[in-house]
Amino acid sequence: MEKLLILTHVDESGAALTKASLESVAAGVEFAAALGAELTIGIVGAACEAASNSLAGTAARVLVVAGEAFAQPRYASDAAACEALCRAAGATLVFAPESSRFVRVMPGVAFRLTGFVDTHITALSKGDTLEATRWFYRQRVEAVLHRETRPWFLLLEVGTREPWIAASGQVQVETVPVVLPELRTTVTGIHAPKQDEQTIRPEAKVLFVAGAGWTKKQADGQVHAVEAESLILGFLHTTDASLGSSKSLVDQSGENQEVLKFMTHMNQVGQTGATPRHPKGLSTCCHGEEPHVVGWRFINERRAVNLDPNCGWARGKTDVLYVADAFKVMAKVNALLAERK
């Protein structure tokens, strides 16, 4: 009989499990039932009592590794915690969220347990045994994997399933002791850009893509980069949308052309950029060429604004193409959003 362990960790508040952890819990509950496996859930955090109640209704055995050393992500303490949880559960299968905290420790934990780890898992299914799906070669080749090696660790991509919703009630937990190695790293805090400076927001409902058209000469023969910046930032501030870009726009900084200062290569979407996951996407001043649109693979509802009725988006790549001036459209959209607020 398989023994399935879900590894989870608390969020920055320390009092709740991360959304990504709860997605892994939902996967664990579903596949423990499908495989007839024994289900255990492990939690890592400074104090795990409050967070453990979000597991009510899973009917799982809940193990916790708690203490000040586990308040912050750190390789040595997190790897020791995950190893101890795997050993206590006797796990043959381990699901964990592909969070920055766990992605860096899980290969090491798998090595310590002479197991095998697969990363970037986007879907799970049950054939004769458990099967895991992931993409290779920048989302062009989809593979379905199964392995005989145990324990088999699967890091589940964030945003690929609905999180577990707890029933009401208290959860009984068992504390697992951990012998910590010498800790050479002291976590003193997190340096991160302020929320309104951060334009890449993986949890956003909408992806807003800006293309090179925003910095091209417009009908009056002039470039309107300052106006473009204010329209784009205005939209991002009111909607909390995530900002994506075409390659042409982010490449311009190297070509001494007018640029949007808040845009970096990190925003680039496409074949040589990112493949973000958002329910909706709005493309503006972007031509919609294949190397760009391939990065929209996981965007469910797509709309585009372009002056050119023959642009790439018009060829079945968007649900709605507005043949219009994006400067005018976005000014109107921002005005309507401001009225609503």
Ligand X SMILES: Cc1cc2nc3c(=O)[nH]c(=O)nc-3n(C[C@H](O)[C@H](O)[C@H](O)COP(=O)(O)OP(=O)(O)OC[C@H]3O[C@@H](n4cnc5c(N)ncnc54)[C@H](O)[C@@H]3O)c2cc1C
Binding footprint of ligand X on the chain (CB under 6 A) = 211-213, 216, 218, 246-249, 268-273, 285-287, 289, 291-292, 295, 305-308, 311, 325-327
Contacts of 336-341 with CB under 8 Å at 24 or more apart are 337/235, 337/238, 337/239, 338/238, 341/238
For residue 223, the minimal CB distance to ligand X (Å) is 10
For residue 324, the minimal CB distance to ligand X (Å) is 7
- Tokens describing residue 84: 């101890």
- Tokens describing residue 135: 């993409």
Of the two residues 181 and 291, which places its CB atom closer to ligand X in the complex? 291
Of the two residues 54 and 306, which places its CB atom closer to ligand X in the complex? 306
Cis before 151 (ω within 30): yes
For residue 325, the minimal CB distance to ligand X (Å) is 4
Q: Please classify residue 222 by burial: count the beta carbons closer than 10 Å to its beta carbon, then call 0-12 exposed, 13-18 middle and 19+ buried.
A: exposed
Closest alpha carbon to 157 in 240, 100, 77:
100
- Containing 30, the helix (H) or strand (E) segment is helix 19-35
Of the two residues 46 and 329, which places its CB atom closer to ligand X in the complex? 329
Query: Which residues are CB-neighbours of 170 under 8 A, at least 6 positions away?
Result: 53, 56
Of the two residues 161 and 216, which places its CB atom closer to ligand X in the complex? 216
Partners of 17 in beta bridges: 10
Distance from C-alpha of 297 to C-alpha of 139, rounded to nearest angstrom: 8
Of the two residues 131 and 251, which places its CB atom closer to ligand X in the complex? 251
Distance from C-alpha of 318 to C-alpha of 118, rounded to nearest angstrom: 33
For residue 269, the minimal CB distance to ligand X (Å) is 6
Of the two residues 134 and 292, which places its CB atom closer to ligand X in the complex? 292
For residue 187, the minimal CB distance to ligand X (Å) is 35
Distances (CA, A) of 277 to 117, 150, 209, 242: 23, 31, 13, 10
Of the two residues 171 and 232, which places its CB atom closer to ligand X in the complex? 232
Q: Find out whether 209 and 283 touch, Cβ atoms under 8 Å.
A: yes
| CA 289 to chain CA mean position, Å | 25
For residue 320, the minimal CB distance to ligand X (Å) is 14
Of the two residues 102 and 214, which places its CB atom closer to ligand X in the complex? 214
Write phi, then psi, for 131 (nearest 5 degrees): -125, 140
